[in-house]
Structure 1
Amino acid sequence: MTDWLADDVAVVTGGASGNGRAISTTLAEHGADVVVADIQKEPREGGDPTHELVESEYGQRGEFVECDVTNMDQLENVFDAAEALGGVSILVNNAGITEDTQFLDETEDDFDRIMDINVKGPFFAAQFAAERMVDADREGSIVNIASISGIVGRGNGVVYSASKGALRLMTYALAASLGPYGIRVNDVSPGVVETSMTHDDLGMFETDAAEQYAGRTPLGRVGRPKDIGNAVLYLASPLADFVNGESLVVDGGATNSHGIESSEDE
């Protein structure tokens, strides 16, 4: 494996399970020490805790910090833990929640919870990280995990789409704000990825929805967490030194091919 990230300390929110677990281990595989920030240390899919895997499988330092990203004190604890490892240089805002709710059934509590976790959390995590990087005169990378639902609206997830659209535009604004300090900000926008969240929270893999989605995807499958980990690795690595304020869509070509497909069918 390359040592592209040998001098880096990464913070991954929601890093214990699913995409966050794959992101954490992929960054460690290429040399980063990793602070896993999550509400629980046990992976939803089972197995060793992610921070332990970072150490046992990849020989990097791993730390777990219990963190609800809407809690400012807990967020600050995360970046204090990163300072103890040498200081954050990579932040991955992966923590987030989704929904399968019709618009007329959405409540104020639904709205507040989704926007707090998916927008407020990444905003202040980025602020904490940027403050540490700027104070240390340290260049770095922030990668937000958005969604294709922030590009193409989803009718059974209006608040979710709004939150991921906000995160995508926040990415562009942060890139403009932090670029002069040598801090790059980009996002990864996944399509459907097979994780515990899509299994258990959305129930996608208990119906034919995932098969239908895969059938509409040029590459013929849904995403895997490692696909997201690899995309984050690219954006965090020296390979992307001149990439700033961009959205990397990781969906097998589904989003940009649906329009062509439908027009041919008409």
Structure 2
Amino acid sequence: MKPFLKWAGNKYRLIEKIRALLPPADRLIEPFAGAAAVFLNTDYQDNVINDSNPDLIHVFVTLKQYGPTFIDECKGLFGNEFNNADAYYALREEFNSSVDPFRKAALFLYLNRHGYNGLCRYNKIGGFNVPFGRYKKTYFPYEEMMMFYHKSQTAEFSSIDFEVVMRGARPGDVIYCDPPYVPLSATANFTGYNSDGFSQSEQVRLARVAAETAARGVPVVISNHDNEFTRKVYQGAVVTSFDVQRFISCDGDHRGKAKELLALFPGA
């Protein structure tokens, strides 16, 4: 099941590697859900889907609540008359000023599908600022949205701090964390999609909370780049490393491979 949103770091292509590490459980908790590819491609009875981006979670909640009515609203924004720079920037401005939750959710999907490279980025005052993507044709993800709508009935959605979410886990749960990645270099950080960013100290906090959560009997799996820093902070975990093709780059002809890892903190 493909996510209906484009998303930097989307785990759809890695789902088999991730599922191989996730143990059986009653409930899946995703503190950094992103496009929710893992949620969509696992079969846990219950799910907690959290992300620091409230606009993202708002789209999920709106789709869960309104289903086909919301999908129809979104589809109306995918005509050719909206696939140009003037329309895009007008709708981006409307999104940034809108106080209508239903409309704002539909506009978020429009911006996601029409913006450059599927990026989600905000300026310092919280305004969405991704430029127009200039696609000849944009795909409307009707089937993907319907699948998400049906599966979302098993999920609770939130946009709170990851530690609060993880502290609420209990034996019988499993946690999958896909945080903004540690940058491979000082200029390579494409993952700060919320206005607050995700600092090195936050990476350390996540590793600490993961170890503490696993000690309470809840397994935790974390994705990240494989480098000296992550190897150090995940030293108490079982680490699997592999190469992944990069799809986000300002130079489309030189999108190479990067080392990534999955760190499993097994439940006690």
Please confirm whether the aligned pair reaches a TM-score higher than 0.5, indicating the same fold. Answer: no
Higher helix share: 1
Task: Give the TM-score taking structure 1 as reference length.
Answer: 0.39
